[in-house]
Amino acid sequence: MSPISISPRPPEGEHSIRSFRRTFALTVGVLLVLCGVFLALGYLQGPKLSSAQVDADAVVSSSDQTLRLFANQTLAAVDAGAVSVDPAVAATVSSDGDLISVQFSEALDYNTEYTVSVEGVVSPSGGSESTLTYSFTTAEPTLYYLDRGEPNDEIVETGMSSQERTVVYSGEGIEEFVPVGDVFAVSTAAADRTGTLTLVNPDTGVTEQVLLPEVGEVADLDAARSSSLLGFTISSLDPGPIPTVSHTLYTLDVNRGRDVVAVTGLDGEPMRVVGWQFVPGTTTIVALTTESTLVRVDTTSGLVVPLGGYFEFDRVSADGSTVVVVDARGSASVALVDGEELRLNPSPIDGEQPFLGQTDADAAGNLVAKMVLVSSDGGSFSSVLAYDDGEVSRILYQTVDDKGAILDFHVSPNNQFVAVEVQPNVSNFDSDEYVMNPRPQSVTTYLVEIATGAVTRSVEGFGLVWR
Amino acid sequence: MTTTVPASVDDHHHQHDHRPRRSRNRWLWLAFGTIGVAAIFALRAYTGELESVGVPGLTADLLTLATSVIIESLPFVVLGILLSIVVQAWLPDDLLMRYLPQSPVLRRAAISLFGIALPVCECGNVPLARGLILKGFSVPESMTFLLAAPIINPITIVTTHQAFGFDDGILVGRILGGLAIANIVGWLFSLHPQPNAILTGRFAQQCAVGSHGPRQSRTEKSLDIFMRESSVLMPAVFIGSLIAGAIQVAVPRDVLVTLGSNPLWSILAMMALAFVISVCSSVDAFFILPFASTFMPGSIVTFLVFGPIIDIKMLAIMRTTFTAKVLLQLSLVVALMSAFIGLVINYVV
């Protein structure tokens, strides 16, 4: 290193004008050849994948999720049949500019590597076709359940494959719970059934009791997944001649203050319901009113749409497509989009015709349902959880020697698993005698894969929530 | 080297005799500018509530597109001017030039990085390049600086990052491509047996004017630079934005898409665009951003490395310094290297 010189620097070595021209021509020649080579390679290569976007959590929770593939250049329109997914899932494809959108028709399986290929991708100016391929692994759900015990009841967080058990909240006399936003809503009841609603934050440990608009039983907690809207019913302690008459439906947005708002019905009055639920993944409510009207309520606009007249409310399907209700003619699934009704008649199990109980009916018409098989002589019966594909029913879970009982079940949002609440042996009367929502002390929840019927996990507790 | 010719007597008279008129002109322009800005605010106040002001759709599109480029680029242009003032008026002349390697290749490599500390676009680099020659740098060395500085300077890097982030290797391609072009061209012209023959006679006079102007205080010099840079850059920003908007409005999108997705035409179209619009390197990333959705990334890089070196404006400015033959040779090599860099990026990314 040296200080800068003030005198002009001489040219590097002795060069003749001829050698300069030769070097210049050589440089230009080399650059021309290199440009030609890479131009040819560019023509032969075709479009390439630059990046991709997919929400690994949302794609296992709801259908119609989109994988976005960004190419390195603008593309000609992609053929609708050009997309293939492995493992096979129905999907549609569209393109705009350098973006290819692959929309999955159904929620994908948990913790599974999917490979999406789009063939025949070509530039608008022609050239070589290429196949864009992208692989991604879907997320696992977080599971929450209630484990009642002495001295405290515990809300437990766990996973599908891990055996880890994390207590997110423990307290006395938990009747129901549901995760909503960043908190958990927990209901408890005094001996006279007077309910309280508490919001607990597992991260900060802060608990706060919600000021309720009326004194009564608090029940039917539900929350919109990926939203902060909580819903529940309050019933007067003196139920009167018809116990369901006072079940007023309220909502509370936990991220927007603590105002408890009554849901209004078709008549503009607070709605009284015999059963209700959020449509999974949305803030839309489906409820059966005490006037036996099935309604769909948009909580954002307040719009109430009647869907028909029924007596009993069973459940909204895990995929959010239908609601199962009961009337004098039996069970029916009602499409939430247009209210179209489909009567549910269970398919035979091993040639025997079962009786249908609680049912989850997915968009394709497949059922996961409690079914009862009665022996030919009528002397015995067995309660099973079965999967009905419209042709035959297949047993998913049955207690050992039919000694137990299937209490309830919760299908996962992607219809891959079902969580079955089981009392292993009904002859042991071991109720925990909670006033609102009693359960046998021996209640166990099994996770069953619907495709195979394999039990993959079991936990001691109930009220399992898929998140 | 015989480049330090004193300024002619006429030049000095030219500068001093017309000061009152220049001053009057400045006030006139200031008044025009103030009235213009006030008129824009008044227009906004008057038409803001109207749903339609009767501007035809195409004109509205043109104005929207042009305004968006201006709004995005203007803060960076002002920042560039302020930094340019700091470098030219407030930093010691030889701060960046005290220590350089002896080896010609390393020396040029170091000079090509000077731009990092000289945040001015190509318009402002020509006087700096002249200054380098005056301080004893060889012509190829000053040429290396002239080609690299507009691309390597921090304002250009910041605006390019602001526009593209690290997507598709555009920013990295621009920086490395600019350095490669500057060093290779510098090497090539270092082989020239008569470096002085590269220069025009007029350049010597301009160098002399640059070093023998009236002595000014730093504040005066700062104001002078601000006015000079603003008067060169602002029209470039506004006219460049209008041309960019006009191209997008006038040329059908189908044509742009077809051009942009073709490996050869996308490169040639970008070079032609860069050559014609002559937008400054400080803001060219914002100018070309709307084209990024239709053109391949390598073609964008070609625009970003070719434009700051070879365009109508730069050729006009450089013609005052280099002979026509040299500019032709320079243009050919820079065009081929820019195309090569673009083709490689299109293939790799």
Mean pLDDT to the nearest integer, A51-79: 91
Contact B297, B349 (CB under 8 A): yes
Q: Which of A14, A39, A74 sits opposite B257 (nearest CB)?
A: A74
Yes or no, beta carbons of A2 and B188 under 8 Å apart: no
**Of residues A354, A357, A353, A306, the one with CA closest to residue A334:** A306
The residue of chain B nearest to residue A17, with distances taken between CA atoms, is: B193
User: What's chain A's average pLDDT?
Assistant: 91
Residue B319 is encoded by which pair of tokens?
């013609």
Phi, psi for A217 (deg, rounded to 5): -75, 135
Residues of B within 8 A of A7 (CB-CB) are 136
CA distance B86 to B221: 10
Instruction: Write out chain B residues lying below 8 Å of A127, CB-based.
Output: 262-263
pTM listed for this prediction? 0.72
**What would the pLDDT profile of B299-340 be if each residue is shown by its tens digit?**
999 999 999 888 877 777 777 778 888 999 999 999 999 999
pLDDT of residue B87: 66
Average pLDDT over residues A10-16: 56
Q: If you average pLDDT over residues B39-43, what whole number do you get?
A: 81
A49 close to B (CB below 8 A): no
Q: Are residues A35 and B340, on separate chains, in Cβ contact within 8 Å? A: yes
Which among B102, B192, B263 has CB closest to A20? B192
A326: closest CA among A318, A336, A315?
A: A315
- What confidence score (pLDDT) does residue B10 get? 37
For residue B104, the model assigns a pLDDT of 86
Residue A187's DSSP bridge partners are A176, A197
Q: Which residue has the higher pLDDT, A94 or B123?
A: A94
Query: Sign of dihedral through CA atoms A21, A22, A26, A32?
Result: positive
A73 lies within 8 A of chain B by CB: yes
> Residue A5: pLDDT band by 50, 70, 90 thresholds?
very low
Provide the mean pLDDT of chain B. Answer: 77
Q: Are A449 and A414 in contact (CB under 8 A)?
A: no
Name which of B101, B188, B190 is nearest A1 (Cβ-Cβ): B101
User: Is residue B94 very low, low, confident or very high in pLDDT (cuts 50, 70, 90)?
Assistant: low
Q: What is the DSSP string of A164-207?
A: --EEEEEES-EEEEEEETTEEEEEEE-TT--EEEEEE-TTT--E
Which residue matches tokens 């170091």?
B110
Residue of A139, A166, A141 whose CA lies nearest to A155: A166
Residue B232 — very low, low, confident or very high, per pLDDT cuts 50/70/90?
low
| Contact predicate B151/B188, CB 8 Å | no
Ranges A214-218, A460-464, B103-107, B234-238: which has the least confidence: B234-238
C-alpha–C-alpha distance, residues A400 and B223, integer Å? 92
- What are the phi and psi torsion angles at B82 (to 5°)? -65, -45
Window A:95-154, CB contacts with B under 8 Å: 97-98, 123-125, 127
Cα angle B328, A27, B143 (rounded to 5 degrees) comes to 50
CA distances to A87, B25, B35 from B30, rounded to whole Å, are: 70, 8, 8
Cα–Cα distance, A177 to A184 (Å, whole number)? 7
The pLDDT tens digits of the residues spanning A170-192 come to: 999 999 999 999 999 999 999 98
As a whole number of angstroms, the distance between CA B114 and CA B151 comes to 11
Question: How many degrees, rounded to 5, is the angle at CA A222 between CA A217 and CA A227?
Answer: 135
Return the pLDDT at B18: 44
- Please state, in angstroms and as integers, the Cα–Cα distance from residue A88 to each residue in A94, A114, A116, A443, following that order: 18, 9, 10, 36
- Residue A85 near residue A118, CB atoms below 8 Å: no
Of the two residues A353 and A6, the one the predictor is more confident about is A353
pLDDT at A88 over 70: yes
A24 touches chain B (CB under 8 A): yes
Does B261 contact A at CB distance below 8 Å?
Answer: yes
Instruction: Indicate whether B12 pLDDT > 60.
Output: no
Q: Which residues of B touch A46 (CB under 8 A)?
A: none
Q: Is the Cα torsion angle A88, A94, A96, A101 positive or negative in sign?
A: negative
| Burial track A93-115 (b if 16+ CB lie within 10 A, e otherwise) | bebeebebbbbbebbbbbeeebe
Looking at the DSSP bridge assignments, the partners of residue A411 are: A418
Q: Which residues of B touch A1 (CB under 8 A)?
A: 99-102
A3 versus B283: which is more confidently predicted? B283
Average pLDDT on A17-29 reads: 92
DSSP assigned state of B278: -
* Average pLDDT for B211-229: 73
Phi and psi, residue B140, nearest 5°:
-60, -35
- Name the residue among A4, A14, A23 with its Cβ closest to that of B94: A4
Closest CA–CA distance from residue B100 to any residue of chain A (Å): 6
- Closest chain B CA to residue A27: B333
C-alpha closest to that of A459 among A24, A18, A90, A147 = A147
Burial grade of A5 (CB within 10 A; 0-12, 13-18, 19 or more): exposed
Contact A167, A154 (CB under 8 A): yes
Range of weakest confidence among A272-276, A430-434, B9-13: B9-13
For residue A46, how far is the Cα from the chain centroid?
Answer: 38
> For B262, which of A1, A41, A125 is closest by C-beta distance?
A125
Interface confidence, given as ipTM, is 0.73
**Closest by alpha carbon to B133, among B202, B207, B210?**
B207
User: Which of A209-213, B186-190, B198-202 has the weakest average pLDDT?
Assistant: B198-202
Residues of chain A contacting residue B259, judged by C-beta atoms under 8 Å apart: 125
- Which helix (DSSP H) or strand (DSSP E) does residue A307 occupy? strand A304-309
Q: Which of B108, B258, B340, B345 to mutate to test the interface with A (most CBs of A within 10 A)?
A: B340
Quick check: A65 and A55 in contact, CB under 8 A?
A: yes
A-contacting residues in B 131-170 (Cβ below 8 Å) = 135-138, 141, 168
Confidence at residue B314, expressed as pLDDT on a 0 to 100 scale: 75
Q: With CB atoms and an 8 Å threshold, state whether A1 touches B99.
A: yes
Across the interface, of A24, A43, A73, the residue whose CB is closest to B296 is A73
**Which residues on chain B are in Cβ contact (under 8 Å) with A75?**
261
- Strands lying side by side in the sheet with A304-309: A273-278, A284-289, A293-298, A304-309
Mean pLDDT along residues B139-156: 87
**Residue with the two structure tokens 């044509």:** B255
Q: Which helix (H) or strand (E) holds B244?
A: helix B218-250
Residue that wins the pLDDT comparison between A23 and B44: A23
- The confidence score (pLDDT) of residue A9 equals 47
Q: What is the pLDDT of residues A127-171, one digit of tens each?
A: 889 999 999 999 999 999 999 998 899 999 999 988 899 999 999
Least confident of A212-226, A277-291, B48-62: B48-62
* Stretch A274-303: mean pLDDT: 94
pLDDT in tens, A62-75: 888 999 999 888 88
Rounded Cα–Cα distance for residues B268 and B206 (Å): 34
* B17 pLDDT above the threshold of 50: no
Write the Ramachandran bin of A102: left for phi over 0, alpha for psi from -120 to 50, otherwise beta.
beta
Judged by DSSP in three states, A338 sits in: coil
Q: Does B264 lie at the interface with A, CB-CB under 8 angstroms?
A: yes
> Which residues, at least 6 apart from B272, have a Cβ–Cβ distance to it below 8 Å?
none
Measured between CB atoms, which of B195, B261, B332 is closest to A125? B261
Residue recorded with tokens 């959020």 = A278
Cα separation, A249 vs A219, whole angstroms: 10
Contacts 24+ apart (CB under 8 A), A398-402: A399/A424, A399/A425, A400/A424
Residue of B277 and B188 predicted with greater confidence: B188
Would the pLDDT of B229 be above 80? no
Which has the minimum average pLDDT: A269-273, A357-361, A428-432, B57-61? B57-61
Which of A56, A59, A68, A141 minimizes the C-alpha distance to A108? Answer: A59
Residue A8: pLDDT above 60?
Answer: no
Chains A–B, number of C-beta pairs less than 8 Å apart = 122
Q: What is the mean pLDDT of residues B132-158?
A: 83
* A42/B contact by beta carbon, under 8 A: yes
Instruction: Give which of B199, B327, B343, B345 to mutate to test A binding, by max A Cβ within 10 Å.
Output: B343
Closest-CA distance, A246 to chain B, in angstroms, reads 52
- Cα distance from N-terminal residue to C-terminal residue, chain A: 65
Query: Which letter, b or e, does each residue of B235-249 get, where b requires 16 or more Cβ atoms within 10 Å of its Cβ?
Result: ebbeebbbbbbbbbb
Touching A: B residues 182-201, CB under 8 Å: 184, 188, 190-195
Contact A116, A83 (CB under 8 A): yes
CA distance B128 to B118: 9
